Amino acid sequence: MINKKLLKLFSKLKSGNFKSIATLFTGTLISRVIPFLLAPVLTRIYSQEEFGRVALYLSVTQVFSVIACGRYEMSIVLPDNKKEALSSLLLSVIIAFFTSFILLVTVILFSTSLSIYLEDPKIEKWLYFLPLSIFLQATFMALSFYMVREKKFKDIAVSNIAKSFGAGLLQILLGVVKKVYDGLLIGEVFSYLFGNFRYLRQINKEKEVVKSITKEDLKSTAKRYKNFALFSTPSILLNSLSVNVINFFIPKLYSLSVLGNYSLSYKYIMFPITLIGGSVRDVFFQELNQVKHQQVKAKKVFVKYSLFLFISSFLICTVLYFIIEDLFIMIFGKEWQLAGEISKILLPLVMVRFCVNPISVVLTVYEKQKMEFVINLLLFLSGLGAVIISSFCKYNIGVFVNLYMILSSIIYLLFYFLLYKVVVSGGIK
């Protein structure tokens, strides 16, 4: 009896969906392990202040890159017709280009004011690279969604590895060999350039279909998926702000060095989410999209992935709770002790986000952009609330992070139950 169950489990693991997860997981694992292995070197080459500067730059980049395509990249997976999917891809890239151009003009006019607001005058010269970073990152996301649609999970894995390896190698070379100031930031600026090369090779195979896309096709695509632009864009903007608002205010409340500790902590404590969760999300997206009109099957898919994420997160976070502080000191050095303390505080939030983030694509599959907007508004307000309360009460960084963790965790738990309700109802209001 036990042998039969084991054989049944093994046969499931060999299925196409689990192979896809394994492929994405392997690629994501390697791409995340590379900077993790290089981190002990980088933390000894670059200062906490430089890590803080990179965190500020990436926060601005992430806020704008998620909306640079007008969220039309989310529609790339949905069409059955390849031409329509490529039309969504082309539309996304075009919108990203114009968004980046507008940002370039903004930076030219207000770079000094922005650097003063960010509490770091040295970042001013790097603001001119923001439009390039945002365009490369937005394009990378759009191309990734097309690869998900085509089930080219190997290409996604290779591109993520190239992006990670290229950035890390450049940072090491500039920091050790040439001793270039802000080499850490230069590596981040050009990281997505390395990742896009592999994708562009694949898209080149579809150049005949791309050439056949007309202005009318683009207009039709824009109209068909306009809700992504109207509702998902402000929603994901709020979501990105809810994550990055902390980075904008830590230099004001504390210092750039404290931000360096927080950013290092946040990056590596969220490692399990990006490692396993990102791979699960892409395959879950594709599988749920296939059965979304079959409520019973859709519910089974949702429950299956929810259980997998919960068990994985519980095991990972339980182990980390007992070793995380010592682990940070051992890997990054004694001067990064604060980062380890912050990481331990964030573990409950890590667990909740681990369970919810990958399956949040439910709102995309069922086109529930309005609900997504409300949730992201609440997440943004929870982050902003933590900043305001801590500023008013003069809380230290430990209390501030605790407050942020509690408020955000509550919203994510609410988010999960809403996702479940959407799937069970088949997307019907």
pLDDT tens figures, 12-36: 444 555 666 677 667 777 887 888 8
Quick check: 283 and 20 in contact, CB under 8 A? Answer: yes
| Cα distance between residue 322 and residue 341, in whole Å | 12
> What value does the CA radius of gyration of the chain take, rounded to a whole number of Å?
21
57-73: average pLDDT? 90
Per-residue confidence band for 3, with pLDDT thresholds at 50, 70 and 90: very low
Residues 149, 152, 154, 157, Cα dihedral to 10°: -30
Mean per-residue pLDDT of the chain = 84
Cβ neighbour number for residue 57 with a 10 Å cutoff? 24
Quick check: 142 and 92 in contact, CB under 8 A? Answer: yes
Three-state DSSP at 213 gives coil
Q: What is the pTM of this model?
A: 0.78
Residues near 268 by Cβ (< 8 Å), separated by ≥ 6? 36, 39, 328, 343
Tokens 């093994």, residue located: 10
Q: What angle do CA 219, 222, 228 make, to 5 degrees?
A: 175
| Cα distance between residue 192 and residue 88, in whole Å | 21
C-alpha distances out from residue 22 to 86, 118, 154, 159, 166, Å:
26, 41, 10, 16, 23
- pLDDT given at position 397: 93
Quick check: 219 and 184 in contact, CB under 8 A? Answer: no
Name which residue leads in pLDDT, 356 or 270: 356
Is 109's pLDDT higher than 80?
yes
| Cα distance between residue 146 and residue 152, in whole Å | 9
